[in-house]
Amino acid sequence: MSSSSLSALLGGSIQPGGLTEYGLAPAPQVFPHQWIAVRPRFTQFNSELALTPLQQTDGVTKSGGVVACLNRHYYGSDSRIDHSFFIGSWGKNTAVRPPRDVDRYFVLPVEVYHRFQSHAWNRQSALLQEVKGVISETYPNTDMSGDGQIVLVRFESYSVEVVPTFLLTNGSYWICDTNNGGSYKETNPWAEVNYIDTVDQATNHNLRPLIRMTKAWQEHCSVPLKSFQLELIAAEFLAQSPWRIYDFFWFDWISRDFFQYLYWKANKSITVPGSPEVICLGDDWQSRALSAYWRAVKACGYEWDNQIAGAGDEWQKIFGQQIPRTV
């Protein structure tokens, strides 16, 4: 959406301090006894988003059981951790409540790669089906599927996504891609983890809370962006935010400015760390970012004036019930 069409939509020109393409909305002067609910509200919100100890244990236990059955088959071991590691939100410590999938790489012996090279058709699809079959021997009554890049094991409380991989000599991994006749795709999950760690440390450990909050918005407003895309955009945004080193007292502005930044990412691209892969973000989510921005602007105004419930109503329209209406 262009600035002119946006102006028409809003019924007038975009004013200073409003939505601008490259600048951030300026901060008002801070006075005592204003914004009294911001810090406790966002502190509680962050706590509500974190997985509980029971949820963490459940995810580790279920995914560990899957790893154990693969180790028995491929390595003659009952280990629940060897030849495997967490990726995705669990690997980057950005998982949210309620629980979503648990993603784990499982590194297969190189002999398995050579064995499947003899297949004349889609080797990657055949490999996923073998891994699925191995898991189903231990979990015969559990629904599962193997397609794309993963074997999905659907437990009642969690779904475990297993990514069969081969370790390369350069430290990267080959994963299956069953699309277009099948191929292997090179990935470097540690590069993404290191990128999130680096930005989080440089921003007073504000990145992971922001990521979890954006995922709450993604879930509540059915935003058609993938979680890892939101993570990378949040890192890119926060690295240049003037509020990046402050605490939860500033998270109303951080949230507002994130949605503004996100709005202007429509039809632009992001690069996956450690990979040449460039992903176009499209724009089918842009109207949701715009709506979240203006609700955040309204909520910030209420926070400034200590209209606690009014601000809470607006925040809940963005993030859902996990952010408290009153504190």
- pLDDT of 233-278, one tens digit each? 999 999 999 999 999 999 999 999 999 999 999 999 999 998 888 9
Q: Are residues 209 and 93 in the same domain?
A: no
Helices 207-220 and 251-263: angle between axes, nearest 10 degrees: 60
Name 321's bridge partners. none
Assess if residue 326 is contained within a domain.
no
| Residue-level pLDDT at 85 | 97
Q: Which domain holds residue 89?
A: 53-187
Assess if residue 38 is contained within a domain.
no
In the predicted structure, residue 91 carries a pLDDT above the cut 60: yes
Q: Are residues 70 and 175 in the same domain?
A: yes
Beta strands in 79-228 (DSSP E): 84-87, 102-107, 143-147, 150-154, 159-167, 173-177, 183-187
Q: Are residues 287 and 313 in the same domain?
A: yes
| Residue-level pLDDT at 29 | 58
Q: Are residues 181 and 205 in the same domain?
A: no
- Picking from 160, 187, 214, the residue at the C-terminal end of a domain is 187
- Picking from 130, 157, 187, the residue at the C-terminal end of a domain is 187
In the predicted structure, residue 214 carries a pLDDT above the cut 80: yes
Q: Are residues 303 and 206 in the same domain?
A: yes
DSSP 8-state secondary structure symbol assigned to residue 164? E
| Residue-level pLDDT at 32 | 58
- Picking from 147, 163, 187, the residue at the C-terminal end of a domain is 187
CATH code of the domain in which 139 resides: 3.30.460.90
**Whether the model pTM is above 0.85:** yes
Q: Which pLDDT tens digit goes with each residue over 27-67?
A: 555 555 789 999 999 999 999 999 999 999 999 999 999 99
Assess if residue 279 is contained within a domain.
yes
